[in-house]
Structure 1
Amino acid sequence: MYVAQFNISIERESLDHPRMKDFVERLEPVNAEADVWDGFVWRLHDDTGNATDIRAFDDQRIIFNLSVWKSVETLKNFVYQSSHRAMLKRRLDWFERIVEPSYVLWWVDESERPSVEEAKSRLKQLQEHGPSSSVFTFDTVPVPDSSDA
């Protein structure tokens, strides 16, 4: 079993606004680092190499990331031990505070590449019902079961 992750952010300004310049400039290097990180499998992106132009919510300020990793541990290592960590520290410079869960993890088969619609559904499930064996966070990881994917 692999783990899928989906996270959302709500832009304070459009990506072409000067306030967002540092975020936009750091995005490509962080994505490139993720692509070669131990345990990385796949991430949704367009022809530019990122997903910021893919809009999947009624609120056009919402951007997201959807990826698959070999384990929760390898994903967590990337999130907190790579250059991504510096971006996390500055997220409130660029994005609104979200009080409900803004990311979700779930188990997937090794060959699975989840759709945006599935990811949105998983996040909604976590937001409405809390963590379970089918949707979770870094703090609530269940033991994988082959029936969870």
Structure 2
Amino acid sequence: MHAPHTNWQLAEVNIARLKAPAGDPLVAPFIDALERVNTIAERIDGFIWRYTDDSGNATDTQVATDPLVIFNASTWRDAQALETFVWGTIHKQFYHRRAEWFEALGSMHFAMWWVPPGTYVTPADAMARLAHLDAHGPSDTAFGWADVPGATRWHAKRCAPLTAAE
């Protein structure tokens, strides 16, 4: 999906259900790396903003009745900047290891949409976008990587077998 205006920014939301509470050793490698991964995101050319709560991340924000569901939202200059972070940094290693820390959700867990510059994504809006994508499929309201023209890193990394280095 193309931005409706040339200066609009890409918003994204990602939720996941931890296999154990944040203090549990099972999920400690993920929880312990959050600050480092978020710092890398903030240094990527094209990063605009990320939602944070009192935890310094967004792990204290409850967006579902299940307290093990964690939330992340951010805005980016464009899809290429987000794709660079997701697939061109250490983040991709955490993506490939997600089955160690997270349970599969029965609904959409990731969505993107275009916003005017200066927009700060609220958890309520982000969750509504996820629900819309889940119920209606991709549209201007919410879409996924498959709907982004030129999202080559996503396609290559998602479809490629893992190597020993990953």
Structure 1 and Structure 2 fold alike (TM over 0.5):
yes
Tell me the equivalent position of 1:10. Answer: 17
Q: Is the 8 A contact 1:76 1:138 kept in 2?
A: no
Aligned equivalents of 2:106, 2:48: Cα separation in 1: 29
RMSD over aligned Cα atoms? 1.2
Any idea what SS the aligned residue of 2:32 has?
helix
Any idea what SS the aligned residue of 1:19 has?
coil
One of 31, 45, 61 as aligned partner of 2:52: 45
Any idea what SS the aligned residue of 1:8 has?
strand
Identity between Structure 1 and Structure 2 (%): 36
Aligned equivalents of 1:116, 1:46: Cα separation in 2: 11
Aligned equivalents of 1:14, 1:64: Cα separation in 2: 14
The Cα of 1:134 is off from its aligned counterpart by 2.1
Give 5+ residue unaligned stretches, structure 1.
143-149
Matches within 5 A, 1:104-115: 104-115=111-122
The Cα of 1:48 is off from its aligned counterpart by 3.5
Aligned equivalents of 1:7, 1:113: Cα separation in 2: 15
The alignment of Structure 1 onto Structure 2 pairs a total of residues equal to 142
Tell me the equivalent position of 1:69. Answer: 76
Structure 1: which amino acid aligns with 2:87?
Answer: Y
1:119 and 2:145 matched:
no
One of 30, 53, 57 as aligned partner of 1:23: 30
Q: TM (normalized to structure 1)? A: 0.91
Structure 1: which amino acid aligns with 2:122?
Answer: S
Q: TM (normalized to structure 2)? A: 0.82
Aligned equivalents of 2:50, 2:95: Cα separation in 1: 18
One of 17, 36, 40 as aligned partner of 1:33: 40
Tell me the equivalent position of 2:157. Answer: none
Tell me the equivalent position of 2:89. Answer: 82
Aligned equivalents of 2:61, 2:107: Cα separation in 1: 22
Aligned equivalents of 2:106, 2:148: Cα separation in 1: 20
One of 138, 141, 165 as aligned partner of 1:131: 138
